[in-house]
Amino acid sequence: MKKNLTLICLLLLSLTAMAQMDQYSLEFRGRYIGDNDSDASFQTFAVNKRLARIPIKKGASGLIQIHANYSYAHVNFKEAFTFFEDIENLHNVGLAVNYIKRLKNPKWSFIARFNPQLNSNFTDGIKEDDLYLNAVVLWNYSKTANSRLTFGLAYTNTLGFPAPIPVINYWKKINEKWEFNLGVPRISLVHNLNTKSSITAYLELNGYNANISENYIINGREAERVGYRDIISGLEYRYRIKNFVLLVNGGYTLDRNFELQNSSNDSIVEFNMDNSLNLGLGLGFNF
């Protein structure tokens, strides 16, 4: 049950994080997570490119967006774990198709997202198990322009059961200076310094899943997947100027887990992961 809850949170993270990236024509993000006497440290990089934006003019206004995305995670193992060097480089290649429609009642809108991905270390080419199928359907209700309730269902083929997962999130703008967001995987409080910059205090779940191309056999058990997740509390600074956005954030992990799993998401190898510093940088462009 614990494993499934972690995977559910990581699915929601993937869907919401990529949805946030979709607001830009092109975006780059980088992240460093230190080791602090852990068995490994992590560096991640992601890029998202909008390929098409197609307005739908019939009936209520609608929009189709198509994005290509790629992310990379480098795992820097300590010398005692060089046996696992084949999983030092993890890749995620995906295509996201978003359908956004404002309903006849202007307070309501509908969002559908389909996001197939290939997640693997790719040391033995592309395999069937590398394919992760993610989808979400959401409804937004805005009683006023300063509030939004989002709810719906999400699905992935990696949890081991076919049932969709409930999603709920609430955003509220208190005034011109303050706004907050409650939900999974991110809780945040935003202070707008001026029209160009803001500071955000956040509590966030992050993570990375990938298939292992050439499985490890450890004590007679087969390790087929890589699973990493952490919970971070930190601050983020955002600066906007014309069509450009700069994001800088720093925080500290409150909980971390890194393990190799079998096809049932049971832990085969669990690494020692101490809490540590987290640093991130992002650049967004609209054109």
Range of the domain at 175: 2-285
Return d(Cα 224, Cα 242) in angstroms, integer.
46
Structure tokens at 26: 């092109």
- Identify whether the C-beta of residue 151 lies closer than 8 Å to the C-beta of residue 166: yes
Tokens at 80, concatenated: 């005692």
Per-residue pLDDT, 1: 46
Q: Which of 159, 153, 191, 151 has its CA nearest to residue 175? A: 191
Query: Is 25 within 8 Å of 286 (Cβ atoms)?
Result: yes
- What distance in Å separates the CA atoms of residue 10 and residue 265, rounded to the nearest whole number? 13
Tell me how many domains the chain contains. 1
Question: What pLDDT, on the 0 to 100 scale, is given for residue 12?
Answer: 54
Q: What is the pLDDT along the chain (287 residues), one digit of tens a residue?
A: 455 555 555 555 545 544 444 678 999 999 999 888 899 999 999 999 999 999 987 666 789 999 999 999 999 998 888 889 999 999 999 999 999 998 888 899 999 999 999 999 999 999 999 998 888 899 999 999 999 999 988 887 655 445 677 888 899 999 999 999 998 778 999 999 999 999 999 998 877 789 999 999 998 999 999 988 888 999 999 999 889 999 999 999 999 999 999 888 789 999 999 999 999 999 999 88
Separation between Cα atoms, residue 12 and residue 8, nearest integer Å: 6
Predicted local confidence at residue 179, as pLDDT: 97
Scanning the chain, the segments in alpha helix (DSSP H) are 2-21
State phi, psi for 92 to the nearest 5 degrees.
Answer: -135, 120
**CA–CA distance, 210 with 260 (Å, rounded to integer):** 10
Q: Which helix (H) or strand (E) holds 219?
A: none
**269, 83 Cβ separation under 8 angstroms:** no
